[in-house]
Structure 1
Amino acid sequence: MNDWITALEGRYLSDERVTFDTSEPARQAMERTVITPLVHLGVLDVSGPGADKLLQGQTSAQVDLANGSFAPLTCFCSAKGRMLANAQLLRIDAERYRLILHRGLLEPLRDHLKKFAPFYKSELAIRDDLVLLGLIGKEAQALAEVRFDAVPPAVWHQSGDETVQLLAHPGPQHRLLACLPLEQAEAVATRLSEQAAPVGNAVWCLQDIQAGLAWLTPAHQDALLPQMINWEALGGISFKKGCYTGQEVVARAHFRGQVKKRLARAQLEGSRLPELGASVVDADGKAAGEIVAAELDAYGQAEILAVLTTREDIGPLSVDGQAVKLLKLPYPIERLDPENLTQASA
């Protein structure tokens, strides 16, 4: 499975992290176009005549909005409203949906949905035969259009066909995610590398941080309400659909304003990356939140996403002895209905 990355002279640092010898990768993404294997993400297919009904009862998305053009954000919750996973939902054909989420949550989410699948004549498959490849930068859209023969979509939309799908994600630079068969990965990535520098997937994760976009990992499974990662502000919750597991808790938190923690973006005054789940502490050493994502930026400083208390008198914060400088999120903290995103233009 790793041969195509090896062919590009990449190497694995772990099961979820790959790197290349390209110098200053984060800066490269600011100044030119880069490609990266998104090995930290994976694909779960839900298929069958009742796949739509299965998903409708389990996910925060209005499933019929996933129409082959709009590919909404979504999440799956426990009965207590805590997220088991968050994902992007694609429709591939009349009876097949595709979920893109953190690789570490593929098996737990599949096992959770397996409890309901037989009632809907549906099947669940982790797609190890598919590859996710990221394009970032000024020429990302032009390269994708040529190499994949598909018009790049608007953010949170999809284009392509049943074999290859293109998705656009937000960020400081243009970002496209391609889902394609493993057997095509080496040839496609090799052609793209002629015009785009290969970089490690830390660059993609950094741009997620800069976009204020947190992908749930096993470190926070079944621990956070969707609103704690600003999921409703990103269009990841439909408040207009019917019941789904955890819906009552999620809706109550929204309509009663009972969210006591929120996702915040920040920079650390230092270059040491904290572990996921590390505490953010106030001046008295009391926990004020915890880390959900962390990467080094183009200047060698740590940027983070953290779930922090919404108290206004929070005061100075630090992580592992490094001072925290809060940064502005690129979106307002207010409800964004996914129904309003379906007609977004490219």
Structure 2
Amino acid sequence: MTDWSALVGATPLNERRVTFDTPNQARQALDASVRIPLIHLGILEVAGTDAERFLQGQASAQLTLTSSGFAPLTCFCTPKGRMLANAQVVHVEEQRFWLILERSLLASLKTHLDKFAAFYKAEMQVRDDLALLGMIGNDAPALLETKLDIEPPAIWHHACHGDVHALRHPGPRPRLLLIVPAREVSAVWESLAHQTLPVGNAVWCLHDIQAGLAWMSDVHRDAYLPQMINWEALGGISFKKGCYTGQEVVARAHFRGQVKKRLIRAQLDGAELPAPGSPVEDAEGKIQGEVFSAELDAYEQAEILAVMTTKEVASPLSVAGQRLKPLKLPYAVERLDPESLAEKG
């Protein structure tokens, strides 16, 4: 793996996180515009004569929708409907697609898909030569246009100019994800320097939590049905497409209402970040769910996504002794067809 984050002056904290000397980084993303190296994300490319047909049989997304700039969410499942990875699909050119997902899942997803790709004219490769950057802030769309000559796309859509690609993500502030050749990352980073502050990628992950977006990592493999992380409420499942691996189980859970766990958003009354999988306990000490992801917010309090039972539970809830305060998700927990999202874009 190419460590391109060193090219932008980032300080590594671990394999998934980098930071900068910028003070109060989560706060800066509320008050100013920021730029972020997204080292926790990577790209798996699928290309070849049968690339679309191959992905159509494996992904929950409707691949035919991607030709018009729509960049839908998707997931890849076992035959039992459990997710192996979730991703965003970018149609780069004819029969060439990029899957954006957590870097820790790139190798395992490729290994899984390799079993099916042998029957198609499609090849896969991890694109370590590409860097992913984030921009957050009210000025981000204007900067994309003035600095990089890219018209800001709609949410879950894609636009590009030359070798630089941009995608719009939801969140409490405008968010843009940039895909840049690693050889050009320093120039793009510096072009944004006068109007943005550098912050670590924990800020981007915090905004994912605040947007109710649960991006899987290697610790989540084979643990959840897509609906358990509200993936159908974000347009991540097409119920109008044909078969894909796990489709029967996913569809049955939807149409029969058999989803017994759901993703919630919450705040803890302390600054201790729980690890993924940490139990959420009710007032009687019984486990009613588990933490999916956690980050510190602008006020140094832990915000989390958790997968919880849909049954009524005894409150108050807590995680590692920290009381849990439920927060409202920024979307309705109901089916959202990606076909309608593509039309709105």
| TM-score, normalising length: structure 1 | 0.97
Structure 2 distance, partners of 1:7, 1:121, is 36
Structure 2 match to 1:132:
132
Q: Please give the alpha-carbon distance, in whole angstroms, between the structure 2 residues aligned to 1:344 and 1:101.
A: 24
Q: 1:165 to 1:314 in 2, by over 3 A?
A: farther
CA deviation profile, 1:65-108 (whole Å, cap 9, x unmatched): 11151000000000000000000001011110110000000000
The yes-or-no answer on 1:266 pairing with 2:266 is: yes
Contact 2:282 2:318 in 1 (8 A): yes
Q: Which runs of 5+ in 1 are unaligned?
A: none
8 Å CA contact retained: 1:39, 1:201:
yes
Q: CA deviation at 1:314?
A: 4.1
Correspondence list, 1:17-28, <5 A: 17-28=17-28
Classify the secondary structure of the residue corresponding to 1:307: strand
Match of 2:307 in 1: 307
Describe the SS at the equivalent of 2:187: helix
Q: What is the Cα-based RMSD across aligned positions, in Å?
A: 1.1
Verify the 8 A CA contact 1:68 1:92 in the aligned structure 2: no
Check the 8 A contact 1:281/1:289 in 2, yes or no: yes
1:183 aligns with 2:183: yes
Displacement of 1:8:
3.7
The superposition leaves residues 159-184 of structure 1 with CA deviations (integer Å, 9 ceiling, x where unpaired) of 01562210000000000000010000
Mapping for residues 203-222 of structure 1, pairs under 5 Å: 203-222=203-222
Q: Which amino acid aligns with 1:173?
A: R
Counting matched residue pairs gives 344
CA-CA distance at 1:329 after TM superposition: 0.3
Q: How does 1:167-316 map to 2 (within 5 A)?
A: 167-316=167-316
Partner of 2:147: 147
1:57/1:162 CA distance change after superposition, 3 Å:
farther
User: For residue 194 of structure 1, what is the amino acid of its counterpart?
Assistant: H
Does the 8 Å CA contact 1:130/1:182 hold for their aligned counterparts? yes
- In 2, Cα distance between equivalents of 1:314 and 1:69: 46
Query: Within 1, Cα distance between the matches of 2:7 and 2:129?
Result: 18
Distance 1:30 1:89 in 2: 28
Residues 44 and 100, structure 1, Cα contact 8 Å, conserved in 2: yes
* Separation in 1, partners of 2:241, 2:148: 34
By how many angstroms is 1:315 displaced?
A: 2.2
Q: Which residue identity is paired with 1:13? A: L
1: CA distance, partners of 2:143 / 2:109: 34
Partner of 2:156: 156
Change (3 A) 1:74 1:162: farther
Report if aligned partners of 1:92, 1:162 keep a CA contact under 8 Å in 2.
no
**Aligned partners of 1:278 and 1:319 also within 8 Å:** yes
Look up the SS of the partner of 2:231 in the other structure. coil
Matches of 1:220 and 1:9, distance apart in 2: 31
What is the CA-CA distance between 1:131 and the residue it aligns to? 0.4
Structure 2 equivalent of residue 330 of structure 1: 330
Letter in 2 for 1:312: E
Aligned to 2:84: 84
CA deviation after TM superposition for structure 1 residue 147, in Å: 2.2
Amino acid at match of 1:337: D
CA contact 1:68–1:90 (8 Å) conserved in 2: no
Native 8 Å contact 1:60 1:237 kept in 2: yes
Q: Please state how far the C-alpha of 1:5 moved relative to its aligned partner.
A: 3.4
Unaligned runs of 5+ in 2: none
Quote the offset at 1:119 in angstroms: 1.1
Distance 1:162 1:98, change over 3 A: farther
The residue identity in structure 2 corresponding to 1:249 is: V
For the residue of structure 2 that corresponds to 1:265, the secondary structure is: strand
- Partner SS for 2:188: helix
Q: Partner letter of residue 83 of structure 1?
A: M
Match of 1:71 in 2: 71
The 5 A counterparts of 1:103-142 are: 103-142=103-142
| Separation (CA, whole Å) in 2 of partners of 1:259 and 1:118 | 34
Distance 2:46 2:161 in 1: 17
Q: Does 1:33 align with 2:33?
A: yes
Would you say the 8 A contact 1:37–1:132 is kept in 2? yes
Cα deviations by residue, 1:249-289 (Å, 9 ceiling, x for unpaired)? 00000000000000000000000000011111111211111
The AA in structure 2 aligned to 1:259 is V
Is the 1:68–1:159 Cα contact (8 Å) retained in structure 2?
no
Cα pair 1:239 1:337 within 8 Å, conserved:
yes
Q: Is the 8 A contact 1:152 1:159 kept in 2?
A: yes
Shift of 1:152: 0.8
In the other structure, the counterpart of 1:165 is 165
How far is 1:118 from its partner? 2.1
Q: Residue 66 of structure 1 aligns to a residue in which SS?
A: helix
